[in-house]
Structure 1
Amino acid sequence: MTSTSVFVPACSAREVVRVYGSGAAEVRALSGVSVAFERGRFTAIMGPSGSGKSTLMHVLAGLDRVDGGSVVLHGDSGRADVEIGAASDDVLTALRRDRIGFVFQAFNLLPVLTARDNMLLPLRLAGTEPAEGWFAEVVGRLGLTDRLDHRPHEMSGGQQQRVAVARALLPQPDVIFADEPTGNLDSHAGAEVLALLRSSVREMGQTVVMVTHDPVAASYSDRVVLLADGRLAGEIPHPTADTVLDAMRELGAPVVTR
């Protein structure tokens, strides 16, 4: 894991602008945002509705293009830095397969496949297998050893999201982006998934960047980045649910907690 005394970025945005529409219908979702996300840390992105938090995650992950500025996925262990905004569609597809993991509010599991096959699908599409012993370690840590032959309809929501977390971890990506990963879960299952993301950072050295509206979810992170009106609005190191709730109230955001 990265030493706390040296900030090593996993991904970063510099003066990023993203505009939707034109003329009277123009919406500036991001207006010159510059921010970096530390390798081996858990960062939450928060802000009021329309603040640009989901847009920021989408451009960092190569799911959306920028209209100005630059987005970089930083390399490590022999992997090169990649300028996301300048990358071709083929390069972006390879990055999303090999170096970027995703966990969404919707579990996005294929109903006809077992948990094992859902976990391994991205790697198999790439013609590869997980590193020796890595599959067993991930499955064991996520408590899914006895669920590998179950299909999604045979598992609870929390178990399905754990399968999605395993699918994201197995390629050993540079960064995992989690978009409201507990949005479809009850409070108990949500806490389980957040604890798993937290342990993937502490115990496996993973980098996680999560968009959430929930101060309790954000309190699992090492740092909260705040957005408002498409601009950075501050950050909270070592957040607690209370410090996040206070910051969101200052930004005028209605806050719903579990």
Structure 2
Amino acid sequence: MTTSTNTPVNPPGSAGAPDIVDLPSGSAVAARGVSKSYGRGETAVHALRDVSLDFERGRFTAIMGPSGSGKSTLMHCLAGLDSVDAGRLWIGGTDITDLPDADLTRLRRDHVGFVFQAFNLVPTLTAEQNITLPVALAGGRVDSPWLQQIASTLGLTDRLSHRPHELSGGQQQRVAVARALLTRPDVIFGDEPTGNLDSATGAEVLSLLRRSSREMGQSIIMVTHDPMAASYADRVVLMKDGALVGELQQSTPEAILGALAKLGA
């Protein structure tokens, strides 16, 4: 696990916070000394404890751990959906730790994709309109050749005119993946993206995510509790009690399950 901390890290906004931090040039997302707590005093829950790690560009990473390990909190902080108490975060080389809300919203819109357990499609729009919706809301122009390439890669070419109720669960999640890919984001975050799918359809979506990483160079960070889902990733980061405790490279479901068992998951 990459946990380089050659440059001291100070809490955001603190005196002496460094202007330059030693970040690998190949990082799509990075964290240094990140801590996050909920509540105060004896009832405080320490969701993240001094977490430092890097996510390389073009790699598919899964984050796993027992319930309450901090994996979802870490993803929310990495994506700029939640603030941190200490440490710093980067997306695509941009320090997002202290960005004003408006700037952070623009950065997420232009540089981050999301694929959630719920498909989050607009029922009155076609598949194509759902895919292009973020670009339309931003007043941008759709890259039509790229859209067609994504649709072809994800097997959606003949489904673009269909509305969500005319699509299977797997097809709806493919639309969500296509929507995330359209802006060529620095990173796609997946929060249990196959949680609402049967095993066969889930495997199909996970294969598509892996292809997106390997064939399109897309960086993907996925939180999951499922060892089978995590086995599709290039790398599995393990957490317990808000801290990083290890990682596996291109591992099998059995090896991942064994590692989780040692953590009490």
Normalising by structure 2, report the TM-score: 0.89
Determine what percentage of the aligned residue pairs are the same residue: 62
For 2:217 and 2:66, locate their aligned partners in 1 and report how far apart those are by CA, in whole Å.
30
Aligned pair partner of 1:201 in 213, 230, 239:
213
Q: Which secondary structure does the structure 2 equivalent of 1:236 belong to?
A: strand
Aligned pair partner of 1:219 in 231, 255, 262:
231
Aligned pair partner of 1:101 in 90, 113, 116:
113
* Aligned positions of 1:111-130 closer than 5 A: 111-130=123-142
Post-superposition shift, 1:196? Answer: 0.3
Kindly tell me the number of residue pairs found equivalent between the two proteins: 242
For 1:94 and 1:246, locate their aligned partners in 2 and report how far apart those are by CA, in whole Å.
41
2:264 is aligned to 252
CA-to-aligned-CA distance 1:204-238 (integer Å, 9 cap, x gap): 00000000001110000000000000000100012
For 1:246 and 1:130, locate their aligned partners in 2 and report how far apart those are by CA, in whole Å.
45
Post-superposition shift, 1:131? Answer: 2.6
1:64 is aligned to 82
1:176 is aligned to 188
Post-superposition shift, 1:129? Answer: 2.3
Post-superposition shift, 1:7? Answer: 7.2
Aligned residue identity for 1:123: V
Aligned pair partner of 1:25 in 43, 55, 69:
43
Aligned residue identity for 1:152: P
For 2:218 and 2:171, locate their aligned partners in 1 and report how far apart those are by CA, in whole Å.
20
CA-to-aligned-CA distance 1:52-96 (integer Å, 9 cap, x gap): 00000000000000010001112xxxxxx2111111101111111
For 1:244 and 1:18, locate their aligned partners in 2 and report how far apart those are by CA, in whole Å.
26
Q: Does 1:233 align with 2:251?
A: no
2:9 is aligned to none
Aligned residue identity for 2:126: T
1:43 is aligned to 61
2:71 is aligned to 53
Q: Which secondary structure does the structure 2 equivalent of 1:37 belong to?
A: strand
Q: Does 1:192 align with 2:192?
A: no
For 1:10 and 1:239, locate their aligned partners in 2 and report how far apart those are by CA, in whole Å.
22
For 1:209 and 1:239, locate their aligned partners in 2 and report how far apart those are by CA, in whole Å.
16
Root-mean-square deviation (CA), in Å?
Answer: 1.1
For 1:115 and 1:101, locate their aligned partners in 2 and report how far apart those are by CA, in whole Å.
17
Q: Which secondary structure does the structure 1 equivalent of 2:97 belong to?
A: helix
Post-superposition shift, 1:132? Answer: 4.4
User: Structure 1 stretch 126-135 or stretch 14-23: which is displaced more?
Assistant: 126-135
- Can you give the 5+ residue segments of structure 1 that lack an aligned partner in the other structure? 1-5, 75-80, 254-258
1:149 is aligned to 161
Q: Which secondary structure does the structure 2 equivalent of 1:168 belong to?
A: helix
CA-to-aligned-CA distance 1:137-180 (integer Å, 9 cap, x gap): 00011111111111111111111000000000000000000000
For 2:237 and 2:26, locate their aligned partners in 1 and report how far apart those are by CA, in whole Å.
17
Find runs of 4+ consecutive structure 1 residues off by over 2 angstroms: 129-132
For 1:25 and 1:185, locate their aligned partners in 2 and report how far apart those are by CA, in whole Å.
36
1:92 is aligned to 104
For 2:171 and 2:144, locate their aligned partners in 1 and report how far apart those are by CA, in whole Å.
24
For 1:117 and 1:231, locate their aligned partners in 2 and report how far apart those are by CA, in whole Å.
40
Aligned residue identity for 2:142: P
